[in-house]
Amino acid sequence: MTSVITTDSRFELLEGETLLEGLERTSHEVEYQCRAGYCGSCRTHLVNGSVRYLSEPLAYIAKDEILPCCCVPDGPVQIEACLMHEPEQPLLGEEFNIQTSLDFGTDGRK
């Protein structure tokens, strides 16, 4: 297993997993389309370490970028990837201002 440090987390890549699969399993926000190194959608900044490509990628990448869909780390790596954030949900009862009694006014009529 290989350690992967991301922008706000750390996890171990499982045997046979690509870096993209590991990022998905650990709830990181990742873009992808082809999952095969063609489109470049998964392009990610590599901060430290190095990766090995399972097949030669065709998408253009800068010197400090990697394509997680088709690579595995050579050793511990650090990349820029953030965890997905759940949309904030109101606590039960805060969602609606529930009125528990009815007010018919105070003009004396019943």
Chain residues binding ligand FES by CB under 6 A are 32-35, 37-42, 59, 67, 69
Least gap, CB of 6 to ligand FES (angstroms): 17
Residue number with CB closer to ligand FES (11 or 24): 24
- Residues 72, 81: Cα–Cα separation, whole Å: 15
- Residues 103, 81: Cα–Cα separation, whole Å: 53
Least gap, CB of 93 to ligand FES (angstroms): 43
Residue number with CB closer to ligand FES (62 or 110): 62
Residues near 46 by beta carbon (within 8 Å), at least 6 away in sequence: 64, 65, 66, 77, 78, 79
Residue number with CB closer to ligand FES (34 or 83): 34
Residue number with CB closer to ligand FES (32 or 100): 32
- Residues 28, 32: Cα–Cα separation, whole Å: 12
Least gap, CB of 9 to ligand FES (angstroms): 20
- Residues 87, 10: Cα–Cα separation, whole Å: 22
- Residues 54, 52: Cα–Cα separation, whole Å: 6
Least gap, CB of 36 to ligand FES (angstroms): 6
